[in-house]
């Protein structure tokens, strides 16, 4: 079996609600490596608008990752990224280099709002794609508004966005309704990635194997392979060969 690639992980200490110190982050890395994860995108929250995570610019994340890499001893390959919260001007913030994409590729994590979906996200997605960026909508299975109405997510996907669900949602760690929702989306072929969205070693750990095994069992090798290996590998290839190469590792 190939190694896992985790495209969404709050591994860097001290930047957001991930690990508060180096030791926990190092334990998370050990845990990930033991689970068969060979590549991790470190994706701290970036939430423009003046809040606590509004200063997590690409530059700051790259510098934090470089500092972390110089201290830690690991076989896991680390790449920078960000968990980018949606805002009306987010495309401009990506274009001007303030918000980090995944390793400098055109792929980036797009986190939606918690309680009410901002209007016309599908239009925003359309514009992002037109400008050459590929938004990956993170954990739609955890938003109540999609439980009521899945149409906006379908529209986003029709306009070219990809979709990432969280490993714990697959295995039931976020409750039965989240689990039911991911199953529905998977059956529709709407799930492109599963990532850990890990924040620590206990409640939100960096583990992919359990979700992989469950998807393989329920939906077969081909579906599991696309979600866990083929699609994430596409991002690594973009970093290795693309003109936007800017990976500090």
Q: Which is nearer to Fe ion, 6 or 83 (CB)?
A: 83
Question: What region does 71 belong to: left with phi over 0, alpha with psi -120 to 50, or beta?
Answer: alpha
Q: Which is nearer to Fe ion, 173 or 225 (CB)?
A: 173
Q: Which is nearer to Fe ion, 114 or 158 (CB)?
A: 114
Q: Number of residues interacting with Fe ion: please give it, by CB under 5 A.
A: 2
Restricted to residues 210-249, the positions that interact with Fe ion (CB under 5 A) are none
Residue 197 in contact with Fe ion, rule: CB under 5 A: yes
Q: How far apart are CA 82 and CA 136, in angstroms?
A: 11
Q: Quick check: helix, strand or coil at residue 134?
A: strand
Residue 83 in contact with Fe ion, rule: CB under 5 A: yes
Residue 141 in contact with Fe ion, rule: CB under 5 A: no
Q: Quick check: helix, strand or coil at residue 160?
A: coil
Q: Which is nearer to Fe ion, 121 or 221 (CB)?
A: 121
* Among 21-29, 34-42, 100-108, 195-203, the segment contacting Fe ion (CB under 5 A): 195-203
Tell me the residue number closest to Fe ion, measured at CB: 83
- Tell me whether residue 73 is exposed, middle or buried, using C-beta atoms within 10 angstroms of its C-beta: 0 to 12, 13 to 18, 19 or more: exposed
With CA atoms as reference, report the closest residue to 136 among 51, 41, 68: 41
Contact residues for Fe ion, defined by CB under 5 A: 83, 197
């Amino acid at each position: 079996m190939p190694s896992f690639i985790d495209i969404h992980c709050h591994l860097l200490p001290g930047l957001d609600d991930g690990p508060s110190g180096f030791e926990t982050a190092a334990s998370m890395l050990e845990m990930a490596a033991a689970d068969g994860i060979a590549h991790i995108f470190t994706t701290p929250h970036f939430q423009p608008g003046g809040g606590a995570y509004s200063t997590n610019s690409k530059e700051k994340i790259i510098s934090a990752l470089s500092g972390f890499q110089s201290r830690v001893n690991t076989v896991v390959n680390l790449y920078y990224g960000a968990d980018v919260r949606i805002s009306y001007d987010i495309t401009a913030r990506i274009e001007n280099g303030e918000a980090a994409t995944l390793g400098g590729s055109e792929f980036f994590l797009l986190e939606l709002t918690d309680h009410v979906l901002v209007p016309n996200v599908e239009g925003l997605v359309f514009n992002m794609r037109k400008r050459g960026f590929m938004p990956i909508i993170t954990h739609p299975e955890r938003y109540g508004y999609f439980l009521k109405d899945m149409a906006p997510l379908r529209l986003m996907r029709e306009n070219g966005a990809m979709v990432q669900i969280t490993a714990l949602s697959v295995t039931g760690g976020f409750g039965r309704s989240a689990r039911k929702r991911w199953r529905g989306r998977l059956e529709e072929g709407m799930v492109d990635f599963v990532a850990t969205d890990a924040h620590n070693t206990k409640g939100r750990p960096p583990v992919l194997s359990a979700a992989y095994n469950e998807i393989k069992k329920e939906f077969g090798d081909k579906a599991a392979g696309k979600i866990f290996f083929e699609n994430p590998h596409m991002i690594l290839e973009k970093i290795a060969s693309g003109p936007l190469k800017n990976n500090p590792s």
